[in-house]
Structure 1
Amino acid sequence: MTFTKTIGAALLASVAMASAATACEVTLRSSDTHPDGYPTVAAVNHMGDLLEERTDGRLCIEVSHSAQLGQEKDTIEQTQFGVIDMNRVSLGPFNNIIEETQIPSLPYIFRSVEHMHKVMDGPVGDQILEAFSDHDLVGLAFFDGGSRSFYNSQKPINSIEDLAGLKFRVMQSDMFVDMVSALGANATPMPYGEVYSSIQTGVIDGAENNWPSYDSSGHFEVAQYYTLDQHLIVPEVLVMAKSSFDKLSAEDQEIVRQAARDSVPVMRELWAAREAESEARVRAAGVEIVTDIDKTPFIEAMVPVYEKYVTSPVLQQMVADIQATE
């Protein structure tokens, strides 16, 4: 089944879900900054279908996509206060709040996407999800965020020296600011929704993200140089407001947790298809893509970043556990 057909089926299901929402005892409002049809949005819609089925229609999910409820920083706070019930968020904005989320956000911590899956599906992933509980949130599952690479409007980046002086948007995370600075570029934290116009008007030179985001945001239209340095393979997280979760019975809580876990393989399948389609679309648009790059100088430049953020014995052990995961 093609990605388009799969998403079409998911959209039809979500329409049917919306018409039945009035019959639900509890409708959970979920936020996502990505557009309708994006793999994370489709995965949470699928989770909603599972909840309806497994609770005989008592629990539903209503997904507000395209940042309808605000940008990620704002929706995190709203979820902590219980204004929003569920939230799909990048791990980056949590780095300054929950130290455990810094570890999978470290540059080059994962050897491959497959390595990331094994880590986040295992004890280290469980440890990170549990850490959300001290911040009025319940960690439910990890979704893929792809491998992130730099793109800009000025020139192709063939080496670390080419980054010097360029201004890149990063997520609102001190670690990502330090990462870009360590590479010799200038980091500008800003909301995702402001990136296109900021590149277009020259406020910044570029940003860093994965194939689907580079494509769906239209950033490739204003930043036509993309270098596959793959500095980050950061998973994204689905969380729930603790206040909303606590209102559910123990049985329904477990149903919610399991439905979230069961949405992960669906998301990954959609993500792989979306990556392939986005890459093909971007290449067809004539973007100059640099694939042959020596990552060694980039990795060596990250030593001070690791020294700054991997400080406690808990975090040092997490890094060791990740590196030992085969």
Structure 2
Amino acid sequence: MDSGFGTPISRRRLGGLGLAALAMPGVITSARAQQKFICRIAHTEGIGTPITLAFEKWTGILKEKSGGRIDAQHFPAAQLGGLAQALEGSRIGTIQVTTAGPDSEEAIAPEIAAFGGAPGFIYKDEAHVDRVLQGPLGKEVSDIARKKTGVEFVAYAETGFRHILSKRPVTSLETLKGLKIRVPELRIWVDFWKALGANPTPLPYSEQYSALSTGVIDGLDSDFFSIIGFKWFEQAKNITVTAHWFLPKAVRVNARWLDSLPADLQDLVRSSAREVFAEQRATNRANADKALADLEKLGCSVNRVSPEERAQWAKLTAPLFDQFGAKSPETKAMIEKIRQLA
């Protein structure tokens, strides 16, 4: 028998080659099934907060249910860098998973940023949040993130509504005026607090404690759990319950890494994330009042703005919806979709 290249091949040898070729896919499949995939989970959430505890649980589930094929490693509280580093790492794949508000995509995909609570007072209550993020719109946001930023939002966690922590009491627009309040390094947050007469000061998340202690800022806005977890209450003792901004946290997975996994592990990542962070949301909501009570026990004074005062805050920041929506037709359309579900 001739090979076509001038070299005779016996029938027996050909049969052997055929069997080997048939066996190779099984060998390749077996090797792939045993391949290990490193999964670095890094974020800026505080130690002991509901989100961090959820990530700890998820890390264990990924290891156990993958049979060790996913080597999940958890680095909370900015251990691998601040929010900017975590976001960039998740996009390029040096970090496989992080979490951040969809508003962090303001520069790349402004239509996504609206889902992060931008520009304030967009979410009416927790039920409104669920209608937006746990329905078709939540899937649409994830698809946009995948296309534009290289990450997939496999689930949504949350820190809940944000409130003010400050060195001096804040109960009205008059007492808010001129307050040096820390904001993320995002334009929409700066514009929000300027509209209310405060003095927004962009700073990395990890610098808030030192900035409070040195007087670089007079206050910040955050959820109750983070105020406890990062011990910011040690430097400022006044909490104003405003619920001005609800911040969902997308669980962001690098799309290339996710696509590199065998199908069963892709399913595991997505399904276990949805399960763990549904539980996290429930825990967060159930314990928010207790966290506020704990802050009172730690020496904080709790102030509340009246409904009329809060309505005035919402009115002053309402023009930001038009401003933010002007970034693109897609952004304007997304804002309307969120509002229609209220």
TM-score bucket (shorter structure) = 0.7 to 0.9
The reply to whether residue 73 of structure 1 matches residue 87 of structure 2 is: no
TM-score by structure 1 length?
0.87
Shift of 1:24: 7.8
C-alpha deviations, 1:273-316, integer Å up to 9, x for none? 54234212111123221124221110111123112111233223
**Structure 2 residue 16 is the aligned partner of structure 1 residue 29:** no
1:234 aligns to what SS in structure 2?
strand
In structure 2, C-alpha distance between the alignment counterparts of 1:49 and 1:83, rounded to whole Å: 21
Q: After superposition, where does 1:40-59 map in structure 2 within 5 Å?
A: 40-59=51-70
Counterpart residue number, 2:319: 304
- Equivalences for 1:93-112 in 2 at 5 Å? 93-104=104-115, 105-106=117-118, 107-112=120-125
The residue aligned with 1:39 is 50
Choose 130-139 or 167-176, whichever is displaced more. Answer: 130-139
AA at the equivalent of 1:297: Q
- 195, 202, 208: which one aligns with 1:189: 202
Partner of 2:38: helix, strand, or coil? strand
Q: Which secondary structure does the structure 2 equivalent of 1:69 belong to?
A: coil
Give the letter aligned to residue 115 of structure 1: H
| Residues 46, 226 of structure 2: 8 Å contact kept | no
Helix, strand or coil at the partner of 1:109: coil
Which sits farther off after the overlay, 294-303 or 47-56? 47-56
Question: How far apart, in 1, do the equivalents of 2:159 and 2:185 lie?
Answer: 16
Percent of residue pairs bearing the same amino acid type: 26
Do structure 1's residue 321 and structure 2's residue 337 form an aligned pair? yes
1:145-164 to 2 correspondence within 5 Å? 145-153=159-167, 155-164=168-177
Question: Is the 2:43–2:78 Cα contact (8 Å) retained in structure 1?
Answer: yes
Shift in Å, 1:194: 0.9
Alpha-carbon deviation of 1:188? 0.9
Distance change (3 Å), C-alpha of 1:314 and 1:277: same
Distance 1:215 1:136, change over 3 A: same
Q: CA deviation at 1:262?
A: 1.2
Which protein shows a greater Rg?
2
Q: Which one of the candidate residues 211, 221, 224 is aligned to 1:211?
A: 224
1:115-172 CA-to-partner distances (Å, cap 9, x unmatched) read 112211011211111121121212211101210112211x221212221111100112
Identify which range, 286-295 or 231-240, moves more after superposition: 286-295
Secondary structure of the corresponding residue to residue 46 of structure 2? coil
Q: Between Structure 1 and Structure 2, how many residues are aligned?
A: 303
Deviations 1:9-67 (A, max 9, x none): xxxxxxxxxxxxxx982231100212333221222232233334443332242111121
- 3-state SS of paired residue (2:261): coil
Q: For structure 2, list consecutive stretches of 5 or more residues without a partner in the other structure.
A: 1-33
In structure 2, the partner of 1:61 is 72
Instruction: Report what 1:295 is aligned to.
Output: 310
Asked if the contact 2:172–2:305 (Cα under 8 Å) also holds between the matched residues in 1, the reply is no
Are the equivalent residues in 1 in contact too, given 2:47–2:230 (CA < 8 A)? Answer: no
Query: Which one of the candidate residues 221, 241, 244 is aligned to 2:257?
Result: 244
Asked if 1:278 corresponds to 2:321, the answer is: no
**Alignment TM-score, normalising by the size of structure 2:** 0.83
1:194-248 deviation line (CA, Å, top 9, x unaligned)? 1111111111111101111112111122111111111101101111112211211
Tell me the amino acid that sits aligned with residue 193 of structure 1.
S
Q: 1:180 aligns with which of 193, 200, 205?
A: 193
- CA distance 1:268–1:303, change in 2 (3 Å): closer
Q: Which structure 1 segments of 5+ residues have no match?
A: 1-22
Q: Secondary structure at the match of 2:159?
A: coil
The match for 1:234 among 247, 253, 273 is 247
How many Å separate the matches in 2 of 1:52 and 1:72?
25
Q: Which amino acid aligns with 1:208?
A: D
Q: Judge which range, 268-277 or 247-256, deviates more.
A: 268-277
- Provide the alpha-carbon RMSD of the alignment: 1.9
Residue 155 of structure 2 corresponds to: 141
CA distance in 1 between counterparts of 2:199 and 2:107 reads 20
Preserved contact between residue 42 and residue 98 of structure 2 (Cα < 8 Å): yes
2:255 is the alignment partner of 1:255? no
* Contact persistence 2:157–2:281 (CA under 8 A): yes
